[in-house]
Amino acid sequence: MTRKRWIALTIAIILFVFSIGFQAVTRIMTADLEKLMNFDVGKFEEDILEEGSSLNKIAVIRLNGIIQDTSTNAFNTTTYNHNQFLQMIEEAGEDSTIKGIILRVNTPGGGVVESAEIHDKIKEVQERHGKPVYVSMGNTAASGGYYISAPADKIIAHPATLTGSIGVIMESINFTELANQLGIDFNTIKSGEFKDIMSASREMTEEERQILQTMIDDLYDDFVQVIVEGRELSDERVRELGDGRVYTGSQAFELGLVDSLGTLDDAIASMKEEHQLENAKVVEYKSGLGIYQYIGMTLKSSLGSQGKMDSLVELLRQSNAPQAMYLYSE
């Protein structure tokens, strides 16, 4: 490459970087800086749903989307933020003015570890702070969504809610036949026999299947125990109900998986009546758009198709790794 072409290429790169930086600065300057500079992730805005005493409040915390910890990704702009959700529950537990917590759950489930972390955080609030935790189920509260609901003091589902799906799933894609048709060969160097277990480039062996099935069975046992303890059902009864199927809210009520049928308003009214909180103010925890998330959104928008390609590569990378999920998929 000639010197002139090197100079032209350098100038083009500089202009490209400058263009991205200019777009980011422009968007930041035109944003609501008070909400943007939300560095204190331990403090959340409180939207008032019902007026009442500021010394006796009920906190509504929403869980929307797949329960998965993607908050470490700078380009994450998804609905659910795992660390933030845990912080909201913890803050509501430590706030002396919050007398009760209602989790509005709308999720098909998600990661095994993330679901367990939420479950443990709910138990901590109940035992350490002595505060009631209710769950109000939205459209879907299945698999991991039911896992995290099980320890609640009361579960209220809409008659049309999809819940249940009690079980564990692990999936992978095998494209060996397609690769053979296209003449694609795979070269794998591994340190042990099972290092590439669930590889997409070859058939799974029976021994590998047994290893993974043992893992799934152990995680399923944990799921069952969570329901046994939370719902006071027998182990046998939970396993009978927990064959992976989903139930409507009405069916779940008849089977004893939820306590009553109703909406979020019904859950609020129930908590007020059952815990002498008739004069309580009802607030919903909200988080402002933090500067790091905003910059991530700006850069993602500026990068355009390249950002989408990076996200696709990351999705493929994650899907290639075996991962057990408490997840209901239609």
* Residues catalogued as catalytic: 143, 195
Q: How many helices and strands, by DSSP H and E, does the chain display?
A: 12, 11
Q: Residue 158 and residue 135: Cα distance in Å, rounded? A: 11
- Burial zone of 216 (CB within 10 Å; 0-12 exposed, 13-18 middle, 19+ buried): middle
Within 10 A of 325 (CB to CB), how many other CB atoms are there? 24
Spatial neighbors of 74 by CB under 8 A, at least 6 apart, are 292, 295, 296, 299
Q: What angle do CA 251, 131, 144 make, to 5 degrees?
A: 40
3-state DSSP assignment of residue 258: coil
Identity (one letter) of the amino acid at 134?
Y
> Look-up: residue for tokens 């879907």?
140
In eight-state DSSP terms, residue 260 is E
Q: Residue 273 and residue 276: Cα distance in Å, rounded? A: 6
- Tokens for 187? 């070269």
Spatial neighbors of 304 by CB under 8 A, at least 6 apart, are none
Within 10 A of 267 (CB to CB), how many other CB atoms are there? 24
3-state DSSP assignment of residue 230: helix
With left for phi above 0 and alpha for psi between -120 and 50, is residue 210 left, alpha or beta?
A: alpha
Q: Residue 155 and residue 102: Cα distance in Å, rounded? A: 10
For helices 291-303 and 3-29, give the axis angle rounded to 10 degrees: 140
Please give the span between the terminal C-alpha atoms of the chain, in angstroms, as a whole number.
Answer: 54
